[in-house]
Amino acid sequence: MTRILYPEQLEQAAAILQSGGVVAFPTETVYGLGADGINPVAVQKIYRAKNRPASDPLILHLERPLDFAAVADLRGREALLERLAPLMPGALTLVLPKLPHIPLEVTAGGSSVAVRVPAHPLAQALIAAVGVPLAAPSANLFSRPSPTSAQMVLEDLDGRIDAVLDGGSCPIGLESTVLSLLGAPTLLRPGGVVLEQIEACIGEVLLPYETLSEQHIQPAPGMLLKHYSPRAQMLLVSTPKLLLEVGARYQEQRLGLLLPSQSLEHVKHLRAERFDLGADDLSIAMRLFAGLRALDALGCTHILAHKFTNRGLGRALNDRLYRAASGKVIG
């Protein structure tokens, strides 16, 4: 039985976590599936609940950036962290050398640890109430789209976790940006804090994932190509110009359109289910995963979407769509 808890029941959520249970909670990016990040037995429950492969490391969620020093070795990186300070708390995850007491279950056996300070007030209050770092991946079954509401968490994990803390919808709707500081700053996953913001703080960032993903190589542990997948087959076109032509080929199928308002205008005559992502990048990001799940729920066999301009949040949108399409782009 999975309990649904509301913000006024935060102490109950904290007590479950303190006794080694797993609780899903809202962050500004997506819902996380939390467990005591210092307790290996609790952390193992996360992997079991999600069907997540043990090779995929977790992010530790902390109350304040100052707390990074309690889990990671910051020596030699103080100046860099200082310059990144304006972006934290927020949708930025840093990969740093781990300290010895961090369980290998969190880091998937590796010597580095990912850390983040979420900006969501409920997430911060929960971490403070538990009093330990919370290990938390996105609260979905492995390879499914991340959940941006408590309802979406329950779709995947009802009966598999102790509780979900319902804090409404996540305002960003895409996962955090993962930046490795092990060597020269390197982007491992584009996300809610955009590359341009990071580069404004620390200068040029390396982008191995973009060239690597084109070659179907796994750039970082857990960055599998097939990810964020709906059940339907994704048809990802490189530009809105191709929507009509590709959509027309699937008129005998149950087609879903996952598109911004302005693009839906161009495909008025297609027979399809429609999910309007809204008009601007903020709205598109917030609604993307909900749209994938909604079109699945309508029984669509194919979902048609297009790529975005590779700047700002567009970079993360493209990454998630590309993975949902298992790396196939039409045109």
Q: Which residue is nearest to ligand TXA (CB)?
A: 222
Phi-psi sector, 237: left (phi>0), alpha (psi -120 to 50), beta? beta
Give CA–CA dist 290/148, Å, rounded. 7
Query: At residue 20, what is the residue type?
Result: G
Residue 95 binds which entry of Mg ion, ligand TXA, none, CB below 5-8 Å type-dependent: ligand TXA
Bridge partners (DSSP) of residue 25 are 32
Residue 20 DSSP label: T
Report cis status (omega within 30 of 0) of the bond before 89.
Answer: yes
Q: Which does 324 bind (CB under 5 to 8 A by kind): Mg ion, ligand TXA, none?
A: none
Beta strands 177-180; 186-189: pairing state = antiparallel
Q: 9-41: string of b/e by CB count within 10 Å (b at 16+)?
A: ebeebbebbeeebbbbbbbbbbbbbbbbbbbee
Binding partner at 32 among Mg ion, ligand TXA, none, C-beta below 5 to 8 Å by kind? ligand TXA
Residue 110, binding choice from Mg ion, ligand TXA, none, Cβ under 5 to 8 Å by partner class: ligand TXA
We find the least distance from the C-beta atom of residue 313 to ligand TXA, in angstroms, to be 14
The least CB distance from residue 241 to Mg ion, in Å, is: 32
| Pick 94 or 243: Cβ nearer ligand TXA | 94
| Per rule CB under 5 A, count of chain residues that contact Mg ion | 1
| DSSP designation for 266 | G
Which CB sits closer to ligand TXA, 112 or 318? 112
Distances (CA, A) of 8 to 118, 126, 196, 214: 19, 11, 38, 46
- Closer residue to Mg ion (CB): 138 or 177: 138
Compare residues 14 and 255 and give the one whose CB is closer to ligand TXA.
Answer: 14
Q: Which of helix, strand or coil describes residue 83?
A: helix
In this structure, the strands spanning 23-25 and 32-36 are antiparallel
The least CB distance from residue 31 to Mg ion, in Å, is: 10
Give least dist CB 25 to Mg ion, A: 15
Among 2, 29, 93, 138, binds Mg ion (CB under 5 A): 138
Contacting residues toward ligand TXA, per CB under 6 A = 27, 29-30, 32, 56-59, 93, 95, 107, 110, 112-114, 116, 136-138, 175-176, 178, 188-189, 220-223
Give the nearer residue to ligand TXA in terms of CB position, either 73 or 273.
Answer: 73
Residue 193 · residue 92 · CB < 8 Å? yes
Measured from the CB atom, is 45 or 116 closer to ligand TXA? 116
> Least separation, in Å, of the C-beta of 171 and ligand TXA?
12
| Count of other CB atoms within 10 angstroms of residue 130 | 23
Note the residues at the interface with Mg ion (CB under 5 A). 138
